[in-house]
Chains A and B, each alone.
Chain A
Amino acid sequence: MNAPLAHEYSGASSDAPVYELTNVSKTYARNSVVALENVDLTLRHGSFTSVIGSSGCGKSTLLKIMAGLIPPTKGRVVLQDKPVTGPRRDIGMMFQQATLFPWKTAVENIVLPIEIRDGKAAAKKAMGKAHDLLEMVGLKGFENVYPNELSGGMAQRTSICRMLITEPAVLLLDEPFSALDELSRDMMNMELQRICREQDATAFLVTHSIQEAVILSDEIVVMKPRPGRIAEIVKVDLPRPRTLDIMTTPRFGEIVDHIRSMLDKGEAM
């Protein structure tokens, strides 16, 4: 997280692995459904990876395992050389809904993870950092505003700050902008790219939108359902930084078409 800003944020294939999953499977005991089968995945430092697939392909199970919310049935899950055995402060997570608490102001919501882990005094000390983060996402001046007064996009920006306050080694993003309208969504995706670049973040995004996956990612994990498994990992070789204009280039179209055909094949099975 504290690497210099000059770091080249492209492909990043030469960088050290941050998050490694080896042969991970998950079977739900209660209905013996195989949600995930033999998933191997490596997230390298500073890379952006997306996972895409139809519903039931196990991507939310995968995300929950990576967040330390549920244990895998078998396989190794290792973040920064330490096995993940539960929620950790070096895992940042963001949901479809901003999930800000209406009785707390924007900054108070942002320092909540610190308050929970280290107590009120530590949370107070982190206020300055929360202000800086708000400024970074373009919400300077909204520090003491309650969530009721924030738009959907502003609320999601605030929840980005809350995710970043603990300086996590990996960002897990669960369809973070899917509840926004399309215009705000495009804008937030560009914001996300900028923020990941500035923070030199390792990010993992679950999405339903192929375009969103292609414009943001270095690698796209295409998953197939029943049982949930990886069909293909698509490398996105579009230059960075990417703008919305890139969506009109032929290469962008090729990648989107390729992923769509992969997904259609998965659907037919």
Chain B
Amino acid sequence: MTDAPINQQLETGAADDTVWVQEVAFIDSIPRWIAMTFVFVVFIGTWDVVTRLELVSPIILPTPWETFDDMIFVGSNLLSGGYMLGALWITIQEVIYGFALAITIGFSLGVLVGETAFGEKAVMPYLVAIDTMPKVAFAPLFVAWLGFGIESKVSLAAFIATFPIVVGTAAGLHSADENARMLFKTMGASRMQTLIKMKLPTGLPQIFTGLKIGAVGVMAGAITGEFLGGGKGFGELIRVAASQLNTPRVFSLILYLSLVGLVLYLIVQWTQRKVVFWQKESVGAHDH
């Protein structure tokens, strides 16, 4: 059967019970940007109504417009190089050093655990045990050991971010399939060659998953460290604003802080796309 008759039918607009159209629900056919804008407007609208009707005390929840004004104030302070920029820079340094430390330690431990039987038998149980502890609870210890400076925050940030990187690296090294291992054996590859030329590249997607989780954790670690250990970072600004019941300021500071976390995450994701160029897009697969 050719499609010519169908075309004719379509042109004449005549109904044909052999042609049917698969129905898509209206809500699923909305373009992404409209849908996102819609949710945003509903969110702000609800927020506005709640504050306008004073369902919640203004001390607890500021209006969206107060928050917006404060975001502009904080933004201009940051752009003009005010004291907030100094605080943000301290936090960014903590995040960068913490992440670098977490990557170094996490990757090394991951290779030890993923590649050697000794690491898997003797080191992994301890890592699992520490990982199950609430790591934030170690914050006072780091402050006691390293003081109120940047070091205690870097350590807590690194401490939190290390574990997902260890797990990601170890899982990545285990992800090579039996055929690939056998192939490398038949080629007479040494253990080092197998690790570098096969297991590591094969495991890169998992390693990057660990890095992404670590990137989120490192932010949380730095801010928690600042809450509990003082210092001059952005977390301290938030703590002070909260103690003054300046909730619009707390909200806007958190928003700018989340931008830092987002940028770090996007850097990792961008690197992943460049390095693991063969990996099919799995993040945000629902878009398509």
A241 sits at the interface (CB 8 A):
no
Complex alpha-carbon distance, A112 and B180, angstroms:
12
Query: Do A91 and B186 have beta carbons less than 8 Å apart?
Result: yes
A260 sits at the interface (CB 8 A):
no
9 tightest A-B CB contacts, nearest first: A102-B278, A99-B179, A116-B187, A93-B186, A87-B188, A95-B179, A113-B187, A116-B189, A87-B186
Smallest CB separation, B162 vs chain A (Å): 27
Chain A residues with CB below 8 A from B189, complex form: 116
Complex alpha-carbon distance, A68 and B180, angstroms:
16
Chain A residues with CB below 8 A from B185, complex form: 69, 87
Chain B residues with CB below 8 A from A95, complex form: 179, 182-183
Contact flags B247-259 to A (C-beta < 8 A → 1, else 0) = 0000000000000
Smallest CB separation, B142 vs chain A (Å): 39
Residue in A closest to B188 when the chains form the complex, CB atoms: A87
Chain B residues with CB below 8 A from A115, complex form: 197
Question: In the complex, which residues 86-143 of chain A have their Cβ closer than 8 Å to any Cβ of chain B?
Answer: 86-89, 91, 93, 95-97, 99, 101-103, 112-113, 115-117
Query: Do B186 and A69 have beta carbons less than 8 Å apart?
Result: yes
Other A-B contacts than A89-B188, A101-B198, A148-B280, 16 sampled, CB-CB below 8 A, are A67-B186, A69-B182, A69-B185, A87-B185, A91-B186, A93-B182, A93-B186, A95-B182, A97-B179, A101-B180, A101-B202, A115-B197, A116-B189, A116-B193, A117-B188, A147-B278
Report which residue of B177, B179, B280 has the largest number of chain A beta carbons within 10 angstroms of its beta carbon. Answer: B179
Question: In the complex, which residues 273-287 of chain B have their Cβ closer than 8 Å to any Cβ of chain A?
Answer: 277-280
Complex alpha-carbon distance, A93 and B179, angstroms:
11
Query: Do B278 and A93 have beta carbons less than 8 Å apart?
Result: no
Residue in B closest to A88 when the chains form the complex, CB atoms: B188
A252 sits at the interface (CB 8 A):
no
Chain B residues with CB below 8 A from A116, complex form: 184, 187-189, 193, 197
Chain A residues with CB below 8 A from B75, complex form: none
Complex alpha-carbon distance, A67 and B181, angstroms:
14
Complex alpha-carbon distance, A96 and B185, angstroms:
16
Q: List B residues at the A interface (Cβ < 8 Å).
A: 177, 179-180, 182-189, 193, 197-198, 201-202, 277-280
Query: Do B201 and A101 have beta carbons less than 8 Å apart?
Result: yes
Chain B residues with CB below 8 A from A96, complex form: 179
Complex alpha-carbon distance, A93 and B202, angstroms:
21
Interface size on A, residues (CB 8 A): 24
Complex alpha-carbon distance, A89 and B179, angstroms:
18
Complex alpha-carbon distance, A68 and B187, angstroms:
11
Query: Do A93 and B183 have beta carbons less than 8 Å apart?
Result: yes
Residue in A closest to B197 when the chains form the complex, CB atoms: A116
Residue in A closest to B202 when the chains form the complex, CB atoms: A101
Complex alpha-carbon distance, A102 and B189, angstroms:
19
Complex alpha-carbon distance, A99 and B179, angstroms:
7
Smallest CB separation, A207 vs chain B (Å): 17
* Cβ contacts A to B, 13 pairs, < 8 Å: A67-B186, A69-B185, A86-B188, A87-B185, A91-B186, A95-B179, A97-B179, A99-B177, A99-B179, A101-B198, A103-B277, A103-B278, A117-B187
Complex alpha-carbon distance, A96 and B177, angstroms:
12
Smallest CB separation, A132 vs chain B (Å): 20
Chain A residues with CB below 8 A from B186, complex form: 67-69, 87, 91, 93
Residue in B closest to A95 when the chains form the complex, CB atoms: B179
Complex alpha-carbon distance, A213 and B197, angstroms:
35
Complex alpha-carbon distance, A198 and B198, angstroms:
32
Residue in B closest to A86 when the chains form the complex, CB atoms: B188
Report which residue of B180, B183, B198 has the largest number of chain A beta carbons within 10 angstroms of its beta carbon. Answer: B183
Chain A residues with CB below 8 A from B179, complex form: 95-97, 99
Chain A residues with CB below 8 A from B188, complex form: 86-89, 116-117
Smallest CB separation, A178 vs chain B (Å): 13
Query: Do B201 and A103 have beta carbons less than 8 Å apart?
Result: yes
Smallest CB separation, B42 vs chain A (Å): 41
Query: Do B278 and A148 have beta carbons less than 8 Å apart?
Result: yes
